[in-house]
Chains A and B, each alone.
Chain A
Amino acid sequence: MGLIEGRFEPNIIVTSTDAIFNWARSRSIWPLTFGLACCAIEMMATNASRFDLDRFGIFPRPTPRQSDCLLISGTVTAKMGERLVTLYEQMSEPRYVISMGSCANSGGPYCDHGYHVIKGVDQILPVDVYIPGCPPRPEALIDGFLKLRDLIMKETIAKPSA
């Protein structure tokens, strides 16, 4: 990335390229196979037969190099926070972060007294979509991915109008 972004005025070629790129990006979100706590169980349930995230082209990749989305599914302890940042840095652009569940959103039950928990993963990573729930139901996770899809559809490679 970086070769074509922010170099051209928003003309017809750029916008149609945007349309194709955004369509492809939003239809093929590959999250990292990575679970932290009980939300990960719900994430697996969403990937399984009943709700089947594969319907949206979402299927987990084991290596951060090939994944587009870091799904933070569970409590982020201070120790795991460092690893999360490492994983995020290993991912290739464009990359997105979904914060799933109360623990990742704000520390959840640990927000007042958890000395070991990062109070909201947005303190260490730029979060795109927050999914409330403890843990969120599979429907909520699918909603989150659809919301991320909407977010991706608004992206552009054109020069930002200063």
Chain B
Amino acid sequence: MAGYFKDIWLGVSTVLIGMHITFKHWFKFKKAVTIQYPHEILEMNERTRAHLFNVADECAVCLQCARACPVDIIDMQGIRADKDEDLGLLPTGKPKRMHLIKFDIDFSKCVYCGLCVEVCDTKSLHWRAPVEPCTFTREEMYKSFATIPPDEVERLIAFDAERKVKKAEEMAAKKAAAAAAKAAKAAKAKAEAEAKPAEAGADAPKAAKSDVGEEKKETPAASDTPEKPGTPDSPDAPENTPKPEPDKS
């Protein structure tokens, strides 16, 4: 009977304690913690991963970010500037040598891991404060950060192709020259080899001996797999050796 009344008393008193606590919150003895977002904006930390942005003028087009990206969503392309072209200095102090003609990020796939920002040497790719804007379509989330206008991009591509052609021609010329030199060298070597044919005949038995040694090594593996030609009749045996090795271990 005492337990019964004690239970009731416990119930009533704990309800009153609870009501006291909620009452304190209700009447603002503790202030509301709500941030009324569109009207007041919570200040984010410097490293908050909210909104990815790339400054095209500061980008060295080193492709480090595209390599670091775990979901391969950074689609970037650069064109080497002409030797006498001045593109300004990068934040690292070195001169900018590449035109950034394409830097697209598909934010619908981005996992906001920040690996691309970690590896960025020039810090041109960085986090910004406001959150990524929402969109009505998936295509809108595909964003481009390259600032070069399209006609300029076309000009650069044409220039690059021209340069490549030029370079290829140069290379071809170089190659032809090198080939000519090689041919001359080879002719010279042939003449030398023909001069002493006896030496090659003396080396042949040594090579045959080493082949036999390898064959012996193979035999345990060969017995496991009899259908396999374990004892090759040709002296090309060393080519087969990598295959039985996993069986042994």
Contact = CB atoms under 8 A, between A and B. Distances in A.
Interface string A84-128: 000000000000000000100111110110000000101000001
Given A55-B36, A138-B37, A130 B111 contact: no
A45 interface: no
B133 A143 contact: yes
A110 to B, nearest CB: 9
> SS class of chain B's interface: helix, strand, loop or mixed?
loop
B25 to A, nearest CB: 10
Nearest to B71: A109
B132 A133 contact: yes
A130 B35 contact: no
Contact of B135 (A55, A112, A132): A132
B210 interface: no
Contact of A144 (B35, B108, B109, B134): B134
Contact of A108 (B32, B36, B71, B136): B71
A49 B112 CA distance: 25
A65 B36 CA distance: 30
Nearest to A55: B36
B138 A151 contact: no
Interface residues of A, number: 33
Given A132-B108, A134-B110, A142 B32 contact: no
Contacts of B36: 55
Contacts of A50: 33-35
Contacts of A106: 106, 108-109, 138
A128 B135 CA distance: 9
Nearest to A130: B135
A108 B141 CA distance: 13
B204 to A, nearest CB: 54
Contacts of A147: 134-136
Nearest to A100: B134
A16 to B, nearest CB: 26
Nearest to B143: A132
Closest 6 CB pairs of A and B: A105-B108, A106-B108, A140-B131, A132-B132, A144-B134, A134-B111
Interface of A: 49-52, 55, 102, 105-109, 111-112, 120, 122, 128-134, 136-140, 142-144, 146-147, 151
